[in-house]
A and B are shown apart, each in its own frame.
Chain A
Amino acid sequence: MSASATRTAPLPEASRSWLGRVAWHWRYDPKLELWIGWWAMIVFYQLYGLLFFLVTRIQPPPDPSFDVPRIVQWFGDRHHGLLIGFGIVFLITGMLGAVNALLAYSMRRMSVSPAFAYSYLLIYSLSAVPGMLLTCIALVVGAMRPDRDPRLISWLYDFAFMAFDGTMGVFLIGSLVWMAAILLDRNRVFPKWFGYLNLCNALTEVVVAPAWIFKRGVFAWDGAITWWIDMVVFVIYTGVFITLIRKMIVREDFGTGPLPE
C-alpha cells in the first residue's frame, strides 16, 4: 500500500501479519480515508459482478421479446437467487457513498472549479436509484409472489430492465463531467487519454437509448451493441479508473501542510 507515513509513526514491517498491517494503517496512515474509499470501490464492484451475473443471473440480460409465460418461467428459475442476491445488494448500497466520494475527490485535486466535483457527486448519488435499486426492487416484487397475475409480472420485468438500461442520462452526463474536468486539469491528476476513455463510456450511454424502441436485434436491451459492446467498454473503463485512482492515492502527498477545510 502507501509508502508514506507520518514522521512519528513506526514503519509497517513486511513480516507483520495481514491484520497487523491493517491495524498499522488504521492507526498511522494519513491516507486512510482515501484507502477506505478505494477498498469500498474494489469490494463493491467485485460483489456487483458476483451478484448480478452469478447469484441473481439477471446478466447477461434475458430477451425483451419473451412472451408472458416465458417471463413467468424466467422469474421462477431464479426465485431464491433474486431474493437473496438483491438482499445483499440492498445491504451494501451505502458503499456507493464512499465510491462516489472518492471519485468526486479526484476532481477536487484538479485545477478546476469545485462545480465539477459537486455535479459528479450529485449525479452519481442519484444514479443508484433508477440505474440499480429500482431494477432490484421491481425484480424482488416480481419474485416474491409467483402466483401474481402474469401480465403484471411481465410489467415488472419491463420496469426492471428499462430502469437498468434506459436511464442513460445520469451516466452520460456524469462521464462527460469527469471528462471535461480531466481535460481542463493542469495538475495532471489523470492522464489525458483517460479523459477520452470517459468519452467512450459516455457514447455507450448514447447507443443504449434505442433500447426504448427495439425489442429485437442489436439495439434491443440484450443486443450486441446495447449490451455486449457497452459491457466491454464499461469493464475496461472501471478497471482503468480503479488503477488510476490507486496511482493517485499512492502519489498523494499531504506533507505537513494544514488540513483541508
Chain B
Amino acid sequence: MTRRADGELILLWTLPVLAVLWISAFLLFPGFVHPMAPTMSAEEVAAFYRDPENLARIRYSMILFNWFGVGMIPILVLIVLQVRRMAHRTPILSYALLGCASGGPTLFLVANLFWLLAAFRPERDPQLTQLFNDLAWVTFTSQVGFLIGQCVFIALAIHLDRQPRPVFSKWVAHFNLLVAAALAPASFTALAMAGVMAWDGLVSFWIRNAAIALWIVVMGIVLGQAIYRERREPGVAA
C-alpha cells in the first residue's frame, strides 16, 4: 500500500527547520545577544555597522530572519485550518486570524528591511545609519498589535468551540491570553530610552521575545497534536 504525501504534515514539519533558522539568526546578529541600547549616539551606531566583524554577521542574520518571517505564514495558516474545524457559526474568527497572519510577518519584514539598509552602506552619514537603525528597532519592538490580535482571536475561538471534543484544550486559550499580556507593554517602547521599557530592556526585549519563542514552541506542539488527531479520526480525508 502506498502512502499519499500529506501536504499539511509537510508544512507542519517545516517548523523545526524554521526554529533552527531563527535560533541561529538570533545568535548570529550581534545586536541581539547584548541588545543595542537606544541611548547609543549616531557615531556609536555607525561604528557598530562599520565594524567588519559585525557587518557580515548583521547581513547574514537578517537574511535568515527574512526567510524565517515568511516561513511562519504556512504554520499560521495551519492554525487557521484548525480554527475552521471548530464548532463556530461563522468563519469570522478564522478570517480575523488570516488578517493577522499576513500583518505580523509583513511588519517583521519591514523591520528586517531597515536593518539590512543600515548595513548596506555603513559608510553613509552616521545620522542616516542611526535613522535606519531606529526605524528597524521601533518597528521590530512596537509592532505587537497583530500578534496580540492573533493570541486573542485564538483564545476566543477556543472558548467558542463548544463541542464534546474541542480542537484545542481550554488551557491553550489561557496560555494565548497570557502571551498577549506579555507582549502588550512593548507597544510603548519608544517612551523610554533606558530601563525595562526601552527596546533593549527586560520587558520590551527579553519578556517580549521569550513570549514569542514560547508561543511558537507551545503552539507548534498543540498544532501537531491536533493535526495528528484529525488524521486518526474516521472519515477524515487527509
Query: Which residues from A are CB-within-8-Å of B188?
Result: 83-84, 87, 91
Pair A148/B107 contact, Cβ less than 8 Å: no
- Please name the residue on chain A nearest to B144 by beta carbon: A90
Question: Which of B98, B134, B145, B160 meets A94, CB within 8 Å?
Answer: B145
- A141: which of B135, B153, B191 is its contact (CB, 8 Å)? B135
In the bound complex, do residue B148 and residue A91 qualify as a contact, i.e. CB atoms below 8 Å apart? yes
Q: How far is the CB of A178 from chain B (nearest CB, A)?
A: 15
Q: How many residues of B contact A (CB 8 A)?
A: 47
* Smallest CB gap from B88: residue in A: A33
A90–B102 CB distance below 8 A: no
Report the separation of the CA atoms of residues A104 and B106 in the bound assembly, to the nearest whole angstrom.
21
Among residues 172 to 229 in chain A, which have CB atoms less than 8 Å away from a CB atom of chain B? none
Of B99, B130, B146, B184, which contacts A121 at CB under 8 A?
B99
A42 part of interface (Cβ distance < 8 Å): no
Contacts of A31 on B, CB cut-off 8 Å?
89
The residue from A33, A87, A133, A144 contacting B134, defined by CB atoms under 8 A apart: A144
**Which of A36, A93, A143 is the one whose CB lies under 8 Å from B103?**
A93
- Assess whether A166 is interfacial by the CB under 8 Å rule: no
- Tell me if B127 and A36 are in contact (CB < 8 A): no
CA distance A122 to B102 in the complex (A): 8
Q: Is the CB of A92 within 8 A of B103?
A: no
Q: Is the CB of B96 within 8 A of A98?
A: yes
| A168 interfacial contact with B, CB 8 Å | no
| Distance between Cα atoms of A125 and B101 in the complex (Å) | 9
In the complex, what residues of A have CB within 8 A of residue B131's CB?
141, 148, 152, 156
Note all chain B residues with C-beta closer than 8 A to A95: 149
Q: B176 an interface residue at 8 Å Cβ cutoff?
A: no
Secondary structure type dominating chain B contacts: helix
* In the complex with contacts A144-B193, A148-B127, A129-B106 CB distance below 8 A: yes
B142 A101 Cβ-Cβ under 8 A: no
Question: Which B residues are CB-close (under 8 A) to A33?
Answer: 88-90, 92-93, 160
Is A121 touching B187 in the complex (CB atoms < 8 A)?
A: no
Instruction: Please pick, from B92, B149, B153, the residue contacting A93 in the complex, using a CB distance under 8 A.
Output: B149
Tell me whether B103 and A125 are in contact (CB under 8 A).
yes
Are A101 and B190 closer than 8 Å at their CB atoms?
no
Residues in A106-131 with C-beta less than 8 Å from chain B: 108, 121-122, 124-126, 128-129
Name the B residues within 8 Å of A138 (CB-CB).
Answer: 135
Distance (whole angstroms) from the CB of A78 to the closest CB of chain B: 13
Q: A residues 141-169 with Cβ under 8 Å of B?
A: 141, 143-145, 148-149, 152, 156
State how many angstroms separate the Cβ of B212 from the closest Cβ of chain A: 14
Q: Scan residues 88-138 of chain B and give those whose CB is less than 8 A from a CB of chain A.
A: 88-93, 95-100, 102-103, 106-107, 110, 127-128, 130-131, 134-135, 138
Let me know if B28 is at the binding interface, CB within 8 A: no
Q: For the complex, give the distance between the alpha carbons of A36 and B127 in Å.
A: 46
Binds B, one of A45-53, A54-62, A253-261: A253-261
Which listed residue (A97, A104, A128, A259) contacts B153, Cβ 8 A?
Answer: A97
B209 interfacial contact with A, CB 8 Å: no
Tell me the minimal C-beta distance from B201 to chain A in angstroms: 14
What CA separation (Å) do A121 and B103 show in the bound complex?
12
Question: Which residues of B pack against A, CB within 8 Å?
Answer: 38, 84, 87-93, 95-100, 102-103, 106-107, 110, 127-128, 130-131, 134-135, 138-139, 142-150, 152-153, 156, 160, 184, 187-188, 190-191, 193
A-B pairs, 4 with minimum CB distance: A94-B149, A93-B145, A101-B95, A87-B188
Would you mind naming 12 contact pairs between A and B with Cβ atoms under 8 Å apart? Answer: A32-B160, A33-B160, A83-B188, A87-B142, A90-B144, A91-B184, A94-B146, A94-B153, A101-B96, A121-B99, A140-B138, A144-B38
